[in-house]
């Protein structure tokens, strides 16, 4: 399937779901205000990977929390390919030092924006092409 449509109406803040897209898990998270705030407060120079890695934006877009998220007015939504950029394990959510994602394979630590902060992974987790096709439906791909 080239694209998948996902109903996110039941995802309250702090809830996530994982869907399969092109054989890969995609994490969809309705982030809490605290998670968004923590990610917004990080300075770009603290990041290991300064690029947004967001397929919806230019390839040189910076890894601000806004440009990692679904954008203005939808900053709470994070949609990303749930594959560690080190060797491809699937990170565990709401774990690790930044309460983002933690990869159990070799200890990569991602923040609440899915940005790599510690460990061997070189890049932020990838944001796939996606859009909201209604208030509660996301199309990925």
Cα 54 to Cα 36: distance, rounded to the nearest angstrom: 17
106 is catalytic: yes
Are 20 and 26 contacting, i.e. CB atoms less than 8 angstroms apart? yes
Contact between 38 and ligand FES (CB under 6 A)? no
Considering the complex, state which of residue 64 and residue 99 has its C-beta at the smaller distance from ligand FES: 99
Cβ-based neighbour number of residue 119 at 10 Å: 19
Contact between 122 and ligand FES (CB under 6 A)? no
Q: Looking at 89, 118, 126, 128, which residue binds ligand FES (CB under 6 A)?
A: 89
Q: Looking at 14, 25, 71, 120, which residue binds ligand FES (CB under 6 A)?
A: 120
Task: Tell me which DSSP letter residue 3 carries.
Answer: -
**120: phi > 0 → left, psi -120 to 50 → alpha, else beta; which?**
alpha
Kindly list the catalytic residues.
Answer: 106
List residues near ligand FES by CB under 6 A. 84, 86-89, 103, 105-108, 119-121
């Amino acid at each position: 399937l080239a694209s998948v449509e996902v109903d996110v109406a039941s995802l309250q803040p702090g809830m996530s779901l994982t869907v399969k897209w092109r054989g890969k898990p995609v994490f969809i998270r309705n982030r809490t205000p605290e998670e968004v705030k923590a990610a917004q407060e990080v300075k770009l120079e603290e990041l290991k990977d300064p690029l947004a890695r967001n397929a919806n934006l230019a390839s040189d877009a910076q890894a601000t929390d806004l440009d990692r998220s679904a954008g203005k007015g939808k900053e709470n939504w994070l949609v990303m390919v749930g594959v560690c950029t080190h060797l491809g394990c699937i990170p565990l959510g709401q774990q690790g030092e930044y309460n983002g994602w933690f990869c159990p394979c070799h200890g990569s630590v991602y923040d609440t924006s899915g940005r790599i902060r510690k460990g061997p992974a070189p890049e932020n987790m990838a944001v796939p092409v996606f859009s909201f096709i209604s208030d509660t439906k996301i199309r990925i791909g």
